[in-house]
A = this chain, B = another copy of it.
Amino acid sequence: MTAVKGNAIVAQSGGPTTVINSSMCGVVEEARKHKCIQKTYGAVNGILGVLKEEIFDFGKEKPQDVAALRRAPAAAAGSCRYKLKALDKSRVDYERILEVFKAHEIRYFFYAGGNDSMDTADKVSKLAAEMKYDLLVMGVPKTIDNDLAYTDHCPGFGSVAKYVATAAMEAGRDTDALYTSDTCTVLETMGRNAGWIAAATGVAHRSPEDAPHLVYVPEAPFSVEKFVADVKAVLKEFGRCFIAASEGIQDDKGRYVAEMGGTFAKDAFGHQQLGGVAETLRQIVESQVGVKCRSNKLGTCQRNGMHFASLTDVNEAYMVGQAAVRHAVAGTTGFMVTLLREKGPRYKCTTGLAKLLDVANAEKKVPRDWINPQGNHITKKLRDYVSPLMHGEAPIDIGDDGLPVFVRLKRKPIPKKCGEWAKG
């Protein structure tokens, strides 16, 4: 079989991760090795860059800058949250994507993202086939939420896990030290539907006295009464309590706990105030347990912690980028690269493939037996799963000011060839 000749494009989608640039680096550096791929482009701000024809050429970036993507967090090509309409509702955006691809002789489309992005990639792939346009579409898994099915885990998760678990460990030592006045601390992590990130903090709990003493995830229904009892029990034993909670924890009726604190609250501007999970739990502890409680909300810091990223994660992210290119060049299309954990005592991971459509339609939550029966901590199964993903520390560059140095791409736009985009 002869490989399809043409240009390639990489787009980054959705919330950034610590290692999505490492995957992009893997794509770009691998693409250079294949003569059938002439130019490798980047889409500025994800699929929006394709739709708006805002595209840059990785060949015009310094090779050392491309290499440095492996050590830079967030999405150096830019990302977006633009959601395309369902194909049966409107074909306009999909046709526009193919118009731009054709204009720039793009035959390889590498799309790094989560479920929604895999759905988009699948539809682009199918429309191209329908229109008899040779296009090889490969999905590159990316999400801190770790909720993609058909892959053992997602690039981005290992680093956020390492970040939040370390934060729990460090802030936990603060609570240990100051419990005579600041008795409880709540750490809020990301994770709207799946509790993988909050669960990862549980690994820091190496011994009973270690933080976090309590871990709450959306997979186990949350009850205020139970929570208050949990905190009181921990206080009785250790005199202090460190709590980790997913932003998406819900009660047994599916109501977000983050929204409870705001039920009766209006802020200074008349809006209902959604204080977030940490703030809500803090209030519950102070009012119903009667001790001082602090709240920490790591927010977007947690998904960009390149200064202490997991080397395993960074390397695997690069590997999935490389694999996407190799498969595409070999003629594979309509698949996402997956990570396969090999059986055996030592952690080892290789890549596999899953259909884009299958990935798009599934969501992987934390198995119930990876959370304890009480629904307030993890079990050994989760610990054994997460620990190897956090292994190793990725090297970074440090400037004279003692702070990290992260590359910025020049992203010089290539000339446009199509008309203005008429939004679908």
Contacts and interface: CB of A to CB of B under 8 A. Distances in A.
Contacts of A286: 271
Interface string A377-394: 000000100011111110
A169 B406 contact: yes
Given A81-B180, A387-B400, 20 more contacts: A15-B174, A45-B180, A74-B170, A75-B177, A82-B181, A170-B305, A170-B404, A203-B403, A263-B268, A264-B267, A265-B268, A265-B273, A268-B283, A275-B279, A295-B297, A296-B301, A297-B297, A298-B298, A298-B301, A388-B402
Interface string A104-140: 0000000000000000000000000000000000000
User: 6 closest Cβ contacts across the A-B interface?
Assistant: A390-B402, A296-B299, A74-B173, A75-B177, A170-B304, A81-B181
A224 to B, nearest CB: 10
Interface in A142-187: 162, 165-167, 169-171, 173-178, 180-182, 185, 187
B301 A167 contact: yes
Interface stretch (A55-63, A306-314, A332-340): A306-314
Contacts of A278: 297
A388 to B, nearest CB: 8
Contacts of A80: 178, 180-181
Contacts of A25: none
A300 B175 contact: yes
B171 A299 contact: yes
Contact of A178 (B75, B165, B169): B75
Given A162-B403, A181-B81, A390-B403, A174 B267 contact: no
A307 B73 contact: no
A177 B307 contact: no
A229 to B, nearest CB: 17
A269 B287 CA distance: 7
Contact of A203 (B73, B170, B401): B401
Contacts of A299: 171, 185, 294-297
Secondary structure of the A contact surface, majority rule: mixed
A294 B404 CA distance: 23
Instruction: Indicate the member of A177, A310, A403 with the most B CB atoms within 10 Å.
Output: A177
Nearest to A398: B393
A87 B145 CA distance: 55
| Residue from A288, A308, A388, A402 having most chain B Cβ neighbours under 10 A | A402
A296 B298 contact: yes
A48 B179 CA distance: 12
A12 interface: yes
